[in-house]
Copies of this chain bind each other. A is one copy, B any other.
């Protein structure tokens, strides 16, 4: 132990010198990353032994279900109190500024409630499938879990994501401008499997899907989409759905606005016309400049955003950085993301990180050497249909400023000389 302590002391001294030098001042070399006082010590001692290196830690199953480090206590979902009348019909935003890769951990997946989060007993929960079918069914959870299963990685986005930015940039936060999108591995049964089981009557063309929450939240879906890629889901990222994501059962409608992915799913009724429910007439329609309303605007058009740097994660002095971001499209796969550092005058194609999956978040990155001057960062996605993400000006020219939904505009982050980052909209 004496030997180890001495080595620790040596490292301490070196650490001291290093912190005197300061990493910022010491930046040199090919990647402009930190060099330090160890440069001349080719056989240096290991880093100082901190208290946690000098004692036994906690045992296994000390936390039979794990939780994040205490140091990460600030990485949480947040809401905007003035946005809704109460928290029971509101939204929480995922902290995209602190997330990596494409999987959103279940504890940080954004929430959207229409009548609060019910605590459903899976033993009492039932799924009814009826209406224009040959053999109506009432299924228990064990019944549903017995069907052939599939797992798919898909994003879910609320169409109001970015809605507060339609008229002007006002929230200096990645979490609040884009945090209503998350992505997970979903496991369940193809809706087409269940529909085959009940038998479609030939006149059926629509389905009504309904939740067991206090709002009985319901939406109409074309039967064609139901038979294409919809999933009746009981697990998310390996484990049972969380209560806020529809435990014990939800629909996942890949690539379409989140509110049709009905949570706490209790009923699917087939019919020959849409139901025109409250949530597709009074809500989730887009008022156009000419006074008409767009309805049934389910598709999530291609969208992207730079997640680093961002207002919550500023730059720390000039040098080499990796611009990082997320792109997604309801149309299938992202095929390309371009990045601009001058407000859209010039574009460079970013690297897409594998795996690039259909209707899933896709990571992109681009190395960038910041010279310390003001910059305007933007990302622009293209999807497999050739659709290109529009500017906010292009979007307003088409749709005006009455709606709050389906804002998939290019996001501009203004970088100031001190490295701070601001949400702006270019004229």
CB distance from A161 to the nearest CB of B (A): 14
A241-B101 Cα distance, complex, nearest whole Å = 13
Interface flag for A25 (CB, 8 Å)? no
CB distance from A350 to the nearest CB of B (A): 12
**Pair A322/B148 contact, Cβ less than 8 Å:** yes
Interface flag for A88 (CB, 8 Å)? yes
Query: Which residues on the B side are within 8 Å of A276 (C-beta)?
Result: none
**Contacts A57-B119, A59-B116, A137-B35 given: A237-B68 contact, CB under 8 Å?**
no
Interface flag for A288 (CB, 8 Å)? no
Contact code string A112-128 (vs B, CB < 8 Å = 1, else 0):
11011111111011111
A68 CB contact (under 8 Å) in B103, B131, B146, B240: B240
**Pair B56/A131 contact, Cβ less than 8 Å:** no
Interface residues of A in 63-83 (CB under 8 A from B): 63-72, 75-79
Q: Interface extent on A, as a size class?
A: 35 or more
Which segment, of A208-216, A253-261, A399-407, A411-419, faces chain B? A208-216
**Pair A117/B57 contact, Cβ less than 8 Å:** yes
Interface flag for A99 (CB, 8 Å)? yes
Offer 15 A-B interface pairs, CB within 8 angstroms, sorted by A.
A14-B138, A15-B126, A35-B135, A38-B137, A42-B133, A53-B216, A58-B117, A60-B91, A60-B112, A62-B117, A64-B77, A64-B78, A65-B67, A100-B187, A100-B234
A216-B320 Cα distance, complex, nearest whole Å = 33
**Contacts A36-B137, A44-B130 given: A242-B67 contact, CB under 8 Å?**
yes
Interface flag for A105 (CB, 8 Å)? yes
Copies in the complex: 2
The residue in chain B whose Cβ has the minimal distance to the Cβ of A65 is: B107
Interface flag for A355 (CB, 8 Å)? yes
The residue in chain B whose Cβ has the minimal distance to the Cβ of A121 is: B71
**Pair A87/B69 contact, Cβ less than 8 Å:** no
**Pair A116/B57 contact, Cβ less than 8 Å:** yes
Interface flag for A365 (CB, 8 Å)? yes
A153-B363 Cα distance, complex, nearest whole Å = 14
**Pair A33/B239 contact, Cβ less than 8 Å:** no
The residue in chain B whose Cβ has the minimal distance to the Cβ of A119 is: B52
Interface flag for A139 (CB, 8 Å)? yes
CB distance from A239 to the nearest CB of B (A): 5
CB distance from A192 to the nearest CB of B (A): 13
**Contacts A71-B122, A238-B105 given: A60-B76 contact, CB under 8 Å?**
no
